Amino acid sequence: MTAELPSSLMREGFGVLLAVGGPFLLGLVIVGFIVGLLQAATQINDAAIGFLPRLLTALLIAYVTGHFAIERLSNYFAAAMRSMSGHG
């Protein structure tokens, strides 16, 4: 294990985090903004009304990007284990 390994794993980990979490964050921010605008326009400020669209958005994003996310996370984990063990 070299001295640069932890920093390279951390850098790659942040890239994986951005690739996996980015679609969730972007989708939920957009839906939250739209729900907030609709709640402000209709003056219905109930937290339960804003929950369902965000939940459905998160489930839809998980369904669409789930395979990519699992593949990306498992590849990162396997590469990290190989490089820490000295075989990679």
Per-residue pLDDT reduced to its tens digit, 43-80:
888 888 889 999 999 999 999 999 999 999 999 999 99
Residues with Cβ < 8 Å from 68, sequence gap 6 or more?
20
State the pLDDT at residue 3. Answer: 74
Q: Is residue 13 part of a domain?
A: no
Q: Is residue 70 part of a domain?
A: yes
Q: Is residue 48 part of a domain?
A: yes
pLDDT over 90 percentage in the chain: 69
Q: Is residue 61 part of a domain?
A: yes
Backbone angles phi, psi at 6, to 5 degrees: -60, -40
Q: Is residue 3 part of a domain?
A: no
Measured CA to CA, the distance from residue 38 to residue 80 in angstroms comes to 45
Q: Is residue 11 part of a domain?
A: no
Q: Is residue 7 part of a domain?
A: no
Q: Is residue 79 part of a domain?
A: yes
Mean local confidence (pLDDT), 17-28? 95
Measured CA to CA, the distance from residue 36 to residue 50 in angstroms comes to 8
Q: How many domains does the chain have?
A: 1
State the pLDDT at residue 88. Answer: 58
Structural domain that includes position 64 = 27-85
State the pLDDT at residue 1. Answer: 60
